Amino acid sequence: MQSTKLAGILGTILKSNFTRLSRPYKLNFSITYWCQSRCQHCSIWTIKPKGELTLDEIKEFARQNPYFKWIELTGGEPFLRSDIVDIARAFRDSCPGLYLLTMPTNSLCNYDMEIKKIEEMAQLGIPNIVITVSLDGYRELEDKIRGVPGNYDKAIHMFNGIRELGKKYSNLLCVFGFTIINANAGQFEKTVKEVMKEIPGMSYSDFHVNIGQVSDNYYANINTPIVAPADQAMKDVEYLLENMRKVREKGVSRMAKTYLEIKYMEGILEFLRTKKSSVPNRDGELSIFLDSYGNVFPSIMTSRKLGNLRQDGNSLSAMVAKAGLGKEREQYFTACESYQSILGALLKM
């Protein structure tokens, strides 16, 4: 079963190297805009959402779009949705090729509740679940950037708890996600060293970096100057990249993950150097962004809506065909979207 799903996603990735796909294989889905944090770099927490998609609407969407192989459930804080496991189950039931479920978390929900939900998701039979625990600095810096005293300690506790669960569920993996912004640029190495002191047995491949972006749609932070100077951001990325190149992984899937992370970081560096993506941007074709009101966008970075599930029905390809994909896609390089574009250009690298 697992090998069939692996063959399915590999087949799709291979196909994306030769041809344009008729439908996306990755869904980035913000399941709620509720958030209890106070981050400097993201204003989602200021939103008081009303009329978000119900579980029944999500089930119907999943039934009518059964082709996703990779789903990211994000937010807001995704674990604030009490039905997050039912949402994951709905996609598991409707998407027979679902190979990877990824979710970020701010670690601010009740620890026992979140760990219980992650365990329930690990039991759904999805071959790979990766939780990214957001961590944007060492203790004082993380708490300052996220505006929540104690956030660093909660993130460490959550990471440890998920890692412990991972000993029981081989399909469950956890990494730290560091978003480089002006307030923490140049502080990644210090953060890694502090975390490594606290958590024994950490590897550089347990960290992931992402560059801070402004977007009037998803992050709602268009008026907040958070972008790090490119030269400082590059130093942080180069630090992880150099160390990651030295990591010797055991197991094919961890080796593949590290290889892809290296390609992704090389892509970030190229983007920071040239302000252009090193691979053709294929957002809207290989991945698509659905928000919690049912709005569909090519990516988290674009505010040009392709359609809305409630008004236009559940057919994503019909929305894309009608609205088209704009040129604005060339101006960003995001963690949510760039992996698919990289994978779709692997044979040309």
Neighbours of 329 (CB within 10 A): 21
45 binds, among ligand SF4, ligand SAM, none (CB under 5 to 8 A by kind): ligand SF4
Q: Count CB-CB contacts under 10 A for residue 177.
A: 18
By CB under 6 A, is residue 212 in contact with ligand SF4?
A: no
Q: Identify the CA nearest to 94 among candidates 72, 78, 115, 71.
A: 71
In the complex, the smallest distance separating the C-beta of residue 223 from ligand SAM, rounded to whole angstroms, is 12
Nearer CB in complex with ligand SAM: 67/264 = 264
Q: Binds 314, which of ligand SF4, ligand SAM, none (CB < 5 to 8 A, cut-off by type)? A: none
User: Which position among 24, 76, 127, 344 is part of the footprint of ligand SF4 (CB under 6 A)?
Assistant: 76
Residue 75 makes contact with ligand SF4 by CB under 6 A: yes
Q: Which is nearer to ligand SF4, 80 or 244 (CB)?
A: 80
Residue 5 or 81: the one with the smaller Cβ distance to ligand SAM is 81
Instruction: Give alpha helix (H) positions in the chain.
Output: 2-18, 55-64, 84-94, 111-122, 139-146, 151-168, 188-198, 230-246, 252-274, 309-312, 316-323, 338-343
205 touches, from ligand SAM, ligand SF4, none (C-beta below 5 to 8 Å by class)? none
Question: How far is 62 from 78, CA to CA, in rounded Å?
Answer: 18
Token pair listed for 179: 């978003």
Across-strand partners of 308? Answer: 295
The residue type of 17 is N
Backbone angles phi, psi at 303, to 5 degrees: -100, -5
Q: Of 25 and 159, which has the nearer Cβ to ligand SF4?
A: 159
45 lines the binding site for ligand SF4 (CB under 6 A): yes
Taking the least distance from each CB to ligand SF4, the nearer of 75 and 344 is: 75
CA-nearest of 212, 195, 208 to 258 is: 208
SS3 of residue 203 by DSSP:
coil
Work out which of 35, 234, 244, 300 binds ligand SF4, going by CB under 6 A: 35
**Positions in the binding site for ligand SAM (CB under 6 A):** 35, 41-42, 44, 74-77, 104-106, 132, 134, 177, 179, 210, 212-213, 219, 221, 226
User: Contact positions toward ligand SF4, by CB under 6 A?
Assistant: 35, 37, 39, 42, 44-45, 75-77, 106
